[in-house]
Amino acid sequence: MKNKKENSVQLRVEELKDQHMPNNFDISLEAYGGGGTDKFLNQPPKDLVTHSMKGFEAQYKNIVDYIVRITHRIWEEKDIGYIYDTYSHDCRVWDDFGLQSGSEKIVADTVHTNNAFPDIRLLADEVIWAGDEDASFHTSHRTIISGTNTGYSKFSEPTGKSVRLLCIANCVAKENEIYYEHVVYDTAAMIKQLGLNVEEVAKEVANNRDAGPFGPDFRNLEPKRMSVQAKPPSFEIPEKITNVREFAHAIFNTIWNRRNFSAIDQVYSDDIVFEGSTGRIYRGKEQLRSFVISMITSFPNLALSVEDIYWMGNEQDGYLVSVRWGAIGAHKGNGSFGPPTGKECYIWGITQWLIENNKIKKEWTAFNEFGILMQLLGDSK
């Protein structure tokens, strides 16, 4: 008979309620003095804020402590087998290639990446968290990955090239084990930085997905998205944020589903800085608006749904917000993804916001761009 922890991964992850959101930044990277992983590890504060973590190893004082330290131990100290202790044996992990099931698969993928990039580093840039020991801890871990490709990978022989890319991993953990994760590696950017043709690699991977480490049918393994809908509902975007959940839903539905691109002027600060997949850096509302319009131009019937949201902070100090979203649309427009193929495409990503004075000051959006190319360029089967 399966135990409670084994059964938990088979169930839908419970949506966190508003009372599960921390209303301050007492447990955060900033509380450790900022500066990412190195400062976190070398200069921990004397008065570390703790919270109850039933079932976790005693060395971890809070969930940020847990996430940053296990990442460092697994990836940089090379204790890859520690995954067996920190991921459930039947964990589910979604990435560009679909659903990866079980800790054994996660270990194999991590060994592969360490072989390709022996000097790999994952530097913590932010950890947004919510939840507790009973509802599970939810974390949105933004990292900067760097390394030199001196080993063989599933994409090519060693190139000697250095890479630097954005990654966001949203994990759900309970009793010292991550049992559910969505992770967006900027795979397309990595392939380009290796000097390879990303379109050719995407086509090759898609057409050989029955072999090797790739999910055999990544589209059907993705969580289901809404594909059709009636007239998109209208949401009023509040001038003052009193409920972060309602604010986020209103923004995504108004801008992406109702195509009201003027709303960008209302919710983003004038000096908004956007960092996204494949090295996208946009400054100001006009550049951001152009990006949104270009995506919808490529997928004219795109419909987006917010699938998971949590945050930390308060009105006075601002908020850090994590939103996981999914979309579906047919590639019937001209744009950065090439001539229209007519193929229906699943798009998913994770967005993080820094909100100050009721405006989005910074945005990080990682989405499955390499997965999009796989769907568009692969031969239909």
The pTM score is 0.91
- According to the model, what pLDDT value does residue 3 have? 43
The amino acid at 313:
G
Task: Report residue 356 as tokens.
Answer: 């100050």
**Residue 308: pLDDT over 90:** yes
- pLDDT tens-digit map of 100-125: 889 999 999 999 999 999 999 999 99
Residues of the chain with CATH 3.10.450.50: 4-215, 244-377
Give the span between the Cα atoms of 360 and 353, in whole angstroms: 6
Structure tokens at 256: 């992406």
- What pLDDT does 32 receive? 75
Q: How confident is the model at residue 213 (pLDDT cuts 50, 70, 90)?
A: very low
* DSSP code per residue over 292-316: HHHHHHHSTT-EEEEEEEEEEEETT
- The CATH T-level fold of domain 4-215 is Nuclear Transport Factor 2; Chain: A, (3.10.450)
Cα separation, 373 vs 381, in Å, equals: 16
Separation of alpha carbons 231 and 211, rounded Å: 42
Share of the chain above pLDDT 90, in %: 76
- Nearest C-alpha neighbor of 311 from the set 381, 219, 248, 380: 248
CB atoms within 10 A of CB 27: 21
3-32 mean pLDDT: 72
Asked if pLDDT for residue 6 goes beyond 50, the answer is no
pLDDT given at position 218: 44
The answer to whether the Cα torsion of 173, 177, 181, 185 is positive or negative is: positive
- The reported pLDDT for the residue numbered 229 is 54
- Which tokens go with 18? 């508003």
Nearest to residue 140, comparing CAs of 364, 355, 315? Answer: 364
What tokens does 304 get?
């987006």
When pLDDT is averaged across residues 324-328 and rounded to a whole number, the result is: 94
Burial bucket for residue 208 (CB in 10 Å: 0-12, 13-18, 19+): exposed
Confidence grade of residue 217 (pLDDT, cut at 50, 70, 90): very low
pLDDT of residue 41: 76
Residue 285 pLDDT > 80, yes or no?
A: yes
Phi, psi of 250 (to 5 degrees): -65, -40
pLDDT at 354 (0 to 100):
97
The number of angstroms, rounded, from the C-alpha of 41 to the middle of its chain's C-alpha atoms is: 23
The confidence band for 221, taking pLDDT boundaries of 50, 70 and 90, is very low
Burial class (CB in 10 A: 0-12, 13-18, 19+), 49: middle
| Distances from the Cα of 330 to the Cα of 294, 302, 303, angstroms | 14, 7, 10
pLDDT at 311: 97
DSSP codes joined into one string, 187-205: HHHHHHHTT--HHHHHHHH
The domain 244-377 having CATH identifier 3.10.450.50: the answer here is yes
Contact between 256 and 292 (Cβ < 8 Å): yes
